[in-house]
Structures are given as C-alpha cells and as structure tokens.
Amino acid sequence: MEIAFDLDGTLISSNFPEEKCFWFRSFFLKETLRRGTKRLFRKLENHGHMIWIYTTSCRSEAYISRLFRAYGLKPHGIVNQDRHNQVKAPCSKYPPAFGIDVLIDDSPGVEQEGRTHGFKTILISCDNQNWVNDILNVLKKMELTEKAQQLAGTALVGYVLYGQDNGSHMYYNAKGLKVCSKCGYKVDPEYVNPELRIDKRNDNLHEEKR
C-alpha cells in the first residue's frame, strides 16, 4: 500500500519525545521527529509498503527530504502545500490524487473529509503513547480485509470497525452499530455489505444479523 503521514501533530511536535538521529546532523535540524518513527517506517517498508509525507505546510520538499535523511529515512513521495495546490482537490487533503491508499493524520477534520470524499484515514492523537502499534494493527486489519475480498471473489465494501473485545476507533463511533450473531463483532452498515462480512478472527465470511 501507499501510506502517507501528516507532519504537524502526527510526526512533528515540540511536545513529542524525540527520535534519535545521527549526532552530527542534529546540530542542523530545526525540527525533530516523533520517537518511534524510524521503527514504524522500517516495519512498513519491510512489508512492502511505500511511505509518503502529506503536509499542507509550506515546508519545501527539499527541506522535508533532508529532515528524514537525517534519521536514515527516505520517503517514497512528498506532498506539500505547493504540490497539493497543483491538483483540483475537493478538500484540504486529497490522497487519491497522488495514488495514496491511506492517510495517517491527527486531525478529526481530515478524518471527516475522508468519510465524505471516500478515502481511508487513520486518526492518531498526539498523546497516544502506543501510536506505532496502533497504526500497525489497523493496517493489518485493512490488509486482512482486502485479502479476504480477493479470496472470496466478491466486492465487499469497507471494513469491520469495532470488535466486541477491543477499543479500536478506526472511523466511526460504535453506538448504534449492528452486531454479528456469530462472532459478536459490531459492523457499520454503511461500509459493510449487508449480505456478507469479514470475521477478523479467522477470515471467514458469514451473514450479518439484521
């Protein structure tokens, strides 16, 4: 997958614990990355994902590239405000215009835009101490869903958002969602085919309780 990360409040903030970088380059950095960024990026790259940076700040692509190189990281692509303005985007950020599959951001407004304009987002708060594992877990769920769709040979829509025994908050509030009669998972009727759904525990497809 092509996975993009926001900068301010997601990977960069003066309130974040700092990621370690090459000591001789630390003297030239205006900003530092959030602790865990290197581990997350390397795990994603090892799984074959392409990493992008998507920011509506006025940082230049050259500056962003230098910042990440100081940590031994090389994003596959960079979208800043100038590049974003070159496309006819219907909202403040529009990942599909650049072939990006998932956008990771700290802004609830961007998350809402994803719902409205049909692109996937993962919302990560600035005070989330387990942010790396949370992102990896959500992406794994997305991959399992896509794999099950391919194996089933059917075009299921969307993802299971809530489990009976977890506090995942991928996209929507859990209140009012239907519950599967077999596995106990809650499903979003807007994003799950009304005839079939995916059981995350064993990838079986089965009917949803109506």
Which letter does DSSP use for residue 94 in this model? -
Q: Quick check: 156 pLDDT over 80?
A: no
Query: Mean pLDDT across the chain, nearest whole number?
Result: 77
197 Cβ contact partners less than 8 Å away, ≥ 6 residues apart: 156, 160, 180, 185, 187, 205, 206, 207, 208
Q: Are 156 and 120 in contact (CB under 8 A)?
A: no
Using CA atoms, how far residue 15 sits from 33, 123, 181, in Å, is 11, 18, 44
Using CA atoms, how far residue 85 sits from 3, 47, 90, 171, 180, in Å, is 20, 31, 11, 27, 43
The pLDDT tens digits of the residues spanning 108-142 come to: 999 999 999 999 999 999 889 999 999 999 998 88
Q: Quick check: 53 pLDDT over 70?
A: yes
Q: Are 193 and 156 in contact (CB under 8 A)?
A: yes
Across 71-88, average pLDDT:
95
